[in-house]
Every structure is written in C-alpha cells, then in structure tokens.
A = this chain, B = another copy of it.
Amino acid sequence: MNVPDWVEKVDPCKSDCPSRDLLDLIGDRWSLLILLVIGQGVNRNGALKRRIGGISQKMLTQTLRALEANGLVARHDFATVPPHVEYALTPMGISLQHALGPMFHWIQDHYADVVKARAEFSTRTQQAA
C-alpha cells in the first residue's frame, strides 16, 4: 500500500473541506518564499523586496497582509518617521515553516531527477510526433 495515512484524513477534493483554503494560501507563489525569508531573519519591507528577486511592492504587501491575516506573520509598526516596520514569524508561522521542511528537502533531493524526467519526456514526445 502506497497510500500514506494522512490521505484518509484530509479531502481537499470537496470544496467544503477546510484544506482548500490553506492549500490556496500555501500554493501561492510568494507565500512560501516570504515565509522562508522572514524565517531567515529578514524582517523589513525593503530588505524583503531586495532579497526576493522579482517580487513587486504590490505583491509583497499583499502577500504579507495575507500571511498576517492568517496568523502566520506578525507585523510591528514602530510608527516613527521615517517609517520603520518589522515582520516576524508567529509561533504558528514557525510551525508551518517546519512542516514545509520535508518538501524543501524533497526539492533539493529530487531536482536533478525531475530535470532528467523532463528531458526524457520531451524526447519521448518528440518521437511520438
């Protein structure tokens, strides 16, 4: 049996299943990246923007707000001039970060295989055509 136990407990196939929401949050292109970087201690708007190549100010703020709204990131505004705002992972954010560990590990461990699979697939596809 290849089916892990957790597949029985969660069924995101149904739209009424909670996991759909969170799957969307996690599936977001920038969420994981921001979570990752904040976890590394990068905690200011500008720093995040510089660190995460390719993100726009709009998406940064937007995703930050989403993470904050979901209780994964805490925002601390020092209300000074010039503005000073710091972001940090909440305990829940940290726990998610840890839960994501195996996935990142998997990416590291299998990236080469995926690339190879892609090459083989396009070869096969070309043959067929």
The reply to whether B12 and A111 form a contact with Cβ atoms under 8 Å apart is no
How often does this chain occur in the complex, in copies?
Answer: 2
Chain A interface mostly = helix
- Give the docked Cα–Cα distance between A86 and B37 (Å): 40
- With both beta carbons as reference points, the residue of chain B lying nearest to A96 in the complex is identified as B106
Q: Which residues 97-116 of A sit at the B interface, judged by CB distance below 8 A?
A: 97-108, 110-111, 113-116
Asked if A129 CB lies within 8 Å of chain B CBs, one says no
Q: Which of B13, B29, B37, B71 contacts A117 (CB 8 A)?
A: B71
Interface residues of A in 66-87 (CB under 8 A from B): 68-72
Contact assessment for A71 and B113 in the assembled complex, using a CB-CB cutoff below 8 Å:
yes
CB pairs A–B below 8 angstroms (23 shown): A2-B94, A3-B39, A4-B97, A9-B108, A10-B104, A10-B108, A12-B33, A13-B33, A13-B51, A18-B111, A22-B114, A26-B107, A27-B27, A27-B32, A69-B121, A71-B113, A71-B116, A71-B118, A71-B121, A92-B113, A99-B106, A102-B103, A103-B103
